[in-house]
Chains A and B, each alone.
Chain A
Amino acid sequence: MVTIDLKGLSTREANEGIREAAARGEAIEVLNPDARHHIGVGVVHAVDIHVRGSAGYFCAGLTDTPRFHVERNAGWGLADNMYRGSVVVGGNAGAIAGVAIRGAEVVIRGNMGSRAGQVMKKGTLLCCGNANFMAGYMMYGGRMIILGESGERLGEDMTGGEIFLGGDLVSLGSDAMETDTAEDEIDDVRAFLDRYDIPFRGSFRKIVNAGKKLRYGTPERQVRSIPYFHFSGDSDYWNHKVQEDVYIKSQIGRYRVRGYGGARELPHLADLAFARDIDPGAVGDDPVSRVAMHTLIGGKNGARPLDLTMPVLIAPMSYGALSRSAKQAVAIASGMAGIAENTGEGGMSDAQRDAAGQLIFQMLGGRLGWNIHDMNRADGLEIYISQGAKPGFGGQLMAKKVTKELAEIRGIPAGIDLRSPSRHPDILGADDLVIKVEELREATGYRLPVSVKLGAGRIHDDIKIAVKDGFDFVELDGMQGSTGAGGAEVMEYVGIPTISAICEAERALESIGRRQDIEIVLMGGLRDGVDAVKALCLGADAVALGTAAIIAGGCIACMQCHVGQCVTGIATQDPEHEKRYKPEIEAQHIYTFLESVRWQIAAITRGLGYDDVQGPCRDDLVALTPEAAEITGLPLCPERRNAGHPEIDAAMERALR
Chain B
Amino acid sequence: MCGIAGILLKNEGSGIDTGPALIDMLDGCQHRGPDSTGFALYEGGEEGQLKLRFHVGSDNEAGDAIAALKTVFDEHGARVIEEERIAGSYRVVVRFSGDLQKFSYAVEHAAKVVSIGESLEIVKDVGGAHEVDDTYDVHLFRGSHGLGHVRLATESDVKPEASHPFWATGFADVAIVHNGQITNYWKMRRRLERRGFAFATDNDSELIAVYLADKMNQGIALKDSLASSIDDMDGTFSFLVSTRDEIGYAKDRLAAKPMIMFENDDLIAIASEEVSLNRLFPGRALDTREPPPGSYRTWSRSI
Contact = CB atoms under 8 A, between A and B. Distances in A.
A34 B3 contact: no
Contact of B274 (A35, A111, A428, A461): A35
A373 interface: no
Given A464-B153, A468-B35, A429 B1 contact: yes
A431 B2 contact: yes
Interface in B83-116: none
Nearest to A428: B256
A150 to B, nearest CB: 13
B265 interface: no
Contacts of A320: none
B301 interface: no
A623 B275 CA distance: 52
Nearest to A113: B290
B283 interface: yes
Contacts of B253: 133
A294 interface: no
Contacts of B275: 34-37, 56, 75
B179 interface: yes
Contacts of A37: 273, 275
Most chain A beta-carbon contacts within 10 A, residue among B2, B180, B181, B255: B255
A57 interface: yes
B97 to A, nearest CB: 43
A132 interface: yes
Interface stretch (B6-14, B26-34, B71-79): B26-34
A32 interface: yes
B278 interface: yes
A170 to B, nearest CB: 11
B63 interface: no
Interface string B31-72: 111110000000000000000000000000000000000000
Given A54-B285, A461-B155, A464-B153, A428 B257 contact: yes
B283 to A, nearest CB: 5
Contact of B158 (A95, A111, A512): A512
A430 B292 contact: no
A469 B33 CA distance: 9
B279 interface: yes
B269 interface: no
Interface residues of B, number: 42
B286 interface: yes
Interface string A9-52: 00000000000000000000000101111000000000000001
A435 interface: yes
A639 B3 CA distance: 54
Contacts of B284: 53
B229 interface: no
Nearest to B283: A32
A94 interface: yes
Contacts of A36: 275
Contacts of A115: 255
A76 interface: yes
B258 interface: yes
Nearest to B33: A431
Interface in A510-541: 512
A71 interface: yes
Contacts of A431: 1-3, 32-33, 152, 179, 272
B125 to A, nearest CB: 17
A428 B236 contact: yes
Interface in A84-140: 91-92, 94-95, 111, 113-115, 132-133
B254 interface: yes
A111 B275 CA distance: 19
B287 A34 contact: no
Nearest to B290: A113
Interface in A65-91: 71-73, 75-76, 91
Contacts of A71: 285
A34 B273 contact: no
Contacts of B35: 468
Interface string B254-280: 111110100000000000111101110
B152 to A, nearest CB: 5
B288 A92 contact: yes
A54 B256 CA distance: 22
B196 interface: no
What is the interface of chain A mostly: helix, strand, loop, or mixed? loop
B152 A32 contact: no
Contact of B152 (A91, A438, A465): A465
B154 A7 contact: no
A113 B181 CA distance: 21
Interface in A593-615: none
A54 B288 CA distance: 10
A34 B1 contact: no
A133 B255 contact: yes
A465 B32 CA distance: 12
Contacts of A434: 31-32, 152
A94 B293 contact: no
A292 to B, nearest CB: 36
Contacts of A56: 273-275
B219 interface: no
Given A113-B255, A461-B154, A73 B274 contact: yes
Nearest to A94: B290
Contacts of A438: 31
Contacts of A132: 255, 290, 292-293
Nearest to A54: B285
A58 to B, nearest CB: 12
B282 interface: yes
Contact of A94 (B3, B32, B258, B279): B258
B254 A430 contact: no
A152 interface: yes
A113 B154 CA distance: 27
A118 to B, nearest CB: 12
Given A114-B255, A133-B255, A431-B32, A464 B274 contact: no
B34 A152 contact: no
B292 to A, nearest CB: 6
A247 to B, nearest CB: 37
A370 B120 CA distance: 49
Given A114-B293, A428-B236, A7 B282 contact: yes
B282 A34 contact: yes
B289 interface: yes
Minimum-distance CB pairs A-B, first 9 = A72-B285, A35-B274, A430-B1, A114-B255, A431-B32, A34-B278, A53-B285, A35-B275, A35-B278
Interface of A: 7, 32, 34-37, 52-54, 56-57, 71-73, 75-76, 91-92, 94-95, 111, 113-115, 132-133, 152, 428-431, 434-435, 438, 461, 464-465, 468-469, 512
Given A34-B278, A34-B283, A133-B254, 16 more contacts: A35-B274, A35-B277, A54-B274, A72-B287, A73-B274, A75-B275, A91-B285, A91-B288, A92-B290, A94-B290, A95-B255, A95-B258, A428-B257, A429-B181, A430-B1, A465-B1
Interface of B: 1-3, 31-35, 152-155, 158, 179-181, 236, 253-258, 260, 272-275, 277-279, 282-290, 292-293
27 contacts: A7-B282, A34-B283, A35-B286, A36-B275, A37-B273, A37-B275, A52-B285, A54-B285, A54-B286, A56-B273, A56-B275, A73-B286, A94-B290, A114-B255, A132-B293, A429-B1, A429-B180, A431-B32, A431-B152, A431-B179, A434-B32, A435-B31, A438-B31, A461-B154, A464-B154, A465-B1, A465-B152
